Amino acid sequence: MVSLCVIVIVAVLSIVYGFIAHRAFTVDYVFDANFFAGFAMIVCGIVIMFLPSAIFAKSSSPLDRFTYVERSFDSREKRQRIARLVLWLGLFVTVLAGLIQLLLAFII
């Protein structure tokens, strides 16, 4: 459902861009923009997945060794969960945009 909302938002923005750029209603940029948005989400998910946890974990409290290990595991799991969510969202946006484009190609 979220991926369909992202597709609709990107489609509306690309139609507005096409109207501004060409001074006429055009849907030339809709699928290219959706594929680019999906690709950007996939790349962001991969980058977040492989970034070190030290970038995201900011703490000012003193830590002993066991607390540090537990906190690093928790922060790594949280970061990887967010990365997987962004990655799957990008994959769904790309696949659904492709399926919608194929469907419209058969209809039109």
**What mean pLDDT, rounded, does the chain reach?**
83
Q: Read off the pTM.
A: 0.78
Query: What's the 3-state SS for 22-69?
Result: HCCCCCCCHHHHHHHHHHHHHHHHHHHHHCCHHHCCCCCCCCCHHHHH
Res 23: pLDDT = 83
List pLDDT tens digits, range 31-51.
888 899 999 999 999 999 888
List pLDDT tens digits, range 57-78.
565 556 555 676 777 788 888 8
